[in-house]
Structure 1
Amino acid sequence: MFFEFVPAEAWDDGVRDTLLLHELVEGEEYQVLATTSAGLLRYWINDIVRAGPRIGATPTLSFVRKGRGVTSITGEKLTEAQVAAALQAVAGEFGWTAHFHLALADEAAAAYRVHVESETDVAWRDPSAALDAALSRLNLEYASKRSSGRLRAPRVLRLQPGAAAAYRRWCVSRGQRDAQFKVLSLQRAQDCGFDFTPYVVGDDARA
């Protein structure tokens, strides 16, 4: 098996220029590509590894996290788990359940859009400010970027019933296996080709 590496931050910027193992810098994080004798060619493992101290001329590697499901507009490094935890807290406070959610990091707007499908028989109050506060408690870098104004306030957009099913059908039509479907609930906006706009309820559609 043969491995190549791309600096994690460069990968997020769309760079695909690779490094070999001996070129890695201690303390830096990398995405990993694998080539195998079984036929895989530069297969994206979707793991972030960190280069550690060398043994002889060879750097050690440690697993940091999965590559997808982490976004960073201004350096906040928000994770899927943090968004899910914040949304769960907010849903409990506002009295509804998020049956489906998908957060998009909109780099052009310097803000997050969080799409939520919930019960239709529950009164809806805009939870955007509460979600902002919850994310700030869970992620200090997010809080810092919000405080400095580099990161704008997030918006929670309520979706009509059926939006989640439509999104699933769209993903399956583009190659995901229906039986193994899993929502990547935190993505960069530019990486999500599905248009949620027709499914946004009421005044939220103006977002």
Structure 2
Amino acid sequence: MEVVNTFLTWIFKNRIGQIENFMRNPIEVQEQILEELISTAKRTSFGKTYKFNDIDNYRDFASRIPVHSYEELRPYFERIMKGEQNVLWPSEILWFSKSSGTTSSRSKYIPVSQEALEDCHFKGGKDMLSLYVNNYPDSRVFSGKSLSIGGSLGKNPIDPASEIQVGDISAVIMENLPLWVQFARTPSLEVALMSEWESKIEKMAREVMNENVVSISGVPTWTIVLLQRIMDLKKAKNILEVWPNLEVFFHGAVAFGPYKNLFQELIPSSKMRYMETYNASEGFFGIQDQKDSEELLLMLDYGIFYEFIPMEEWEKEFPKVIPLSEVEVGKNYAILITTNAGLWRYKIGDTVRFTETSPYRFKISGRTKHFINAFGEEVIVENAEKAIEAAAEATGSSITNFTAAPLYFGDSKSKGAHEWIIEFKTMPDSQEKFIMVLDETLREINSDYDAKRYKDLALSAPKVHFVKEGIFSQWLKNKGKLGGQNKVPRLSNTREYLEEVLSILR
């Protein structure tokens, strides 16, 4: 394996020249991407509607094509899922990535073209390895197996008999990887793409625990569940007793900070490395390119054209939209993307803050709405409000206010959860029933939350503080924000607000 490791390390190091090119010439690269996207899609249904033939520059593009939400592009997506092609993008669309839903649908379905797979997602994986081996020339990352924890695939929900398949983006990528990559990864594809998570975790654990695993790729929550099960099976105190050559965890999807201490407990080595990526259903956007920094490098040659909406403009009917060349360091922006899968000026819902512009590095600053996504569940305010309403109706209670935040893993044996403070005018006739209906309703309306809650694998049942009226008013008063337009934040991905309210209860 030493020869293989040396050869592949040399191969991946050589990609760094292309990365350095877009770091030196970001605007020129982005202009070329836009030109190629418009030219390629000009004969699609969408391209004809918006007269792509007459678009000569960014100004024409921005003035002619409207900004789109998921709901606004959804009719086009459904046409493709019903069998129509050449709608948004000229190449055949055979894959849709399934992600957390909007207020009107349980899940979103995002088209994935062959170009998006090869020139974006696969390229992102190769660049991740290129940056890693350039930062760590002594790496032996190709000397063993790469453990990848993915999702599952299913049939097209609109036309189950069609060739189109849907699934988590990790599963779509895994299914389409070239043979040499399949050989280098574990577990087997059959196990990796299982949909029943309890059986999947068990089979994964038993299949991979005797492999020489040197790297892991996945979401922190599921990775923790898997590592804990492997340690139980092997009766190991930590995972290094199972995989002594493990050297890196490539992670993404949720913030890693809250999990850092637990990973250090599971993998007690100062030599263990952690590298963040920003990969979503819609595309591969960023990679942590520096050893001693948590900033992400914006990847600019993946067939994605970027625009941004300053967050102070977000609520306006016609918000100002700017290209990459106009962003400023320190400001929060909502991201718009135009991609080689036919997403045109699409609002992905994430916000970023640039830390520098030469090259373009950034940090993910949140979502355009209040949310909880500490475990990959992507619970939005609308989800929470529907669940609260259902629980109140089922228990004869009335609610005046609430807030919720993550309750993180306390140690290597515990699970995460959501912690709620709910203020009642009329208390529920059964607190146990209220929690049950709250939890069940969230599972019904949010597929990602449901997956994390399945048999308590990654998330435990909610923890709820039932409080009487006046607590939130006192909290707002303490902050000098009582009255007017000041509101209690319904959801937060940090515990700041929740801890402040809990301090009043103590």
TM-score for the superposition, normalised by structure 2:
0.31
Name the residue aligned to 1:114.
420
* Paired amino acid for 1:44: N
Point out where structure 2 has 5 or more consecutive residues left out of the alignment. 1-251, 258-292, 312-321, 323-327, 350-366, 411-415
Give the Cα separation in 1 of the matches to 2:483 and 2:466: 25
Report the count of equivalent residues.
179
* Paired amino acid for 2:417: A
- Going from structure 1 to structure 2, the CA distance change for 1:10 and 1:123 (only over 3 Å counts) comes to closer
The reply to whether residue 23 of structure 1 matches residue 307 of structure 2 is no
Give the Cα separation in 2 of the matches to 1:78 and 1:190: 15
Name the residue aligned to 2:431.
125
Could you tell me whether the CA contact under 8 Å between 2:305 and 2:337 is conserved in 1? yes
Could you tell me whether the CA contact under 8 Å between 1:73 and 1:105 is conserved in 2? yes
Name the residue aligned to 1:64.
348
Distance apart, 1:187 and its partner CA: 0.8
Give the Cα separation in 2 of the matches to 1:25 and 1:162: 52
* Paired amino acid for 2:438: L
The reply to whether residue 185 of structure 1 matches residue 490 of structure 2 is yes
Could you tell me whether the CA contact under 8 Å between 2:383 and 2:445 is conserved in 1? yes
Secondary structure at the aligned position of 2:484 is classed as helix
Q: Where is the strand percentage greater, Structure 1 or Structure 2? A: 1
- Going from structure 1 to structure 2, the CA distance change for 1:29 and 1:106 (only over 3 Å counts) comes to farther
Give the Cα separation in 2 of the matches to 1:140 and 1:29: 28
Name the residue aligned to 2:330.
42
Give the Cα separation in 2 of the matches to 1:30 and 1:71: 25
Name the residue aligned to 1:147.
454
Could you tell me whether the CA contact under 8 Å between 1:76 and 1:142 is conserved in 2? yes
Could you tell me whether the CA contact under 8 Å between 2:337 and 2:344 is conserved in 1? yes
RMSD over aligned Cα atoms: 3.8
Distance apart, 1:61 and its partner CA: 3.9
Distance apart, 1:177 and its partner CA: 8.4
Point out where structure 1 has 5 or more consecutive residues left out of the alignment. 1-8, 201-207
- Going from structure 1 to structure 2, the CA distance change for 1:31 and 1:183 (only over 3 Å counts) comes to farther
Give the Cα separation in 2 of the matches to 1:151 and 1:84: 20
Distance apart, 1:73 and its partner CA: 2.3
Could you tell me whether the CA contact under 8 Å between 2:372 and 2:493 is conserved in 1? yes
Give the Cα separation in 2 of the matches to 1:134 and 1:29: 36
Secondary structure at the aligned position of 1:132 is classed as helix
Distance apart, 1:144 and its partner CA: 1.0
TM-score for the superposition, normalised by structure 1:
0.68
Instruction: Using CA pairs under 8 Å that are at least 6 residues apart, name the structure with larger relative contact order, 1 or 2.
Output: 1
* Paired amino acid for 1:83: A
Give the Cα separation in 1 of the matches to 2:467 and 2:372: 22
1:94 to 380, 384, 395: 395
Could you tell me whether the CA contact under 8 Å between 1:104 and 1:114 is conserved in 2? yes
Distance apart, 1:164 and its partner CA: 1.2
The reply to whether residue 199 of structure 1 matches residue 505 of structure 2 is yes
Could you tell me whether the CA contact under 8 Å between 1:25 and 1:51 is conserved in 2? no
* Paired amino acid for 1:141: D
Secondary structure at the aligned position of 1:75 is classed as coil
The reply to whether residue 135 of structure 1 matches residue 419 of structure 2 is no
Distance apart, 1:183 and its partner CA: 2.1
Give the Cα separation in 2 of the matches to 1:29 and 1:91: 43
- Going from structure 1 to structure 2, the CA distance change for 1:28 and 1:159 (only over 3 Å counts) comes to farther
Could you tell me whether the CA contact under 8 Å between 1:163 and 1:196 is conserved in 2? no
The reply to whether residue 105 of structure 1 matches residue 382 of structure 2 is no
Give the Cα separation in 2 of the matches to 1:77 and 1:121: 28
- Going from structure 1 to structure 2, the CA distance change for 1:28 and 1:198 (only over 3 Å counts) comes to farther
Secondary structure at the aligned position of 1:76 is classed as coil
Distance apart, 1:69 and its partner CA: 0.8
Instruction: Answer with 177-186 or 87-96: which moved more.
Output: 177-186
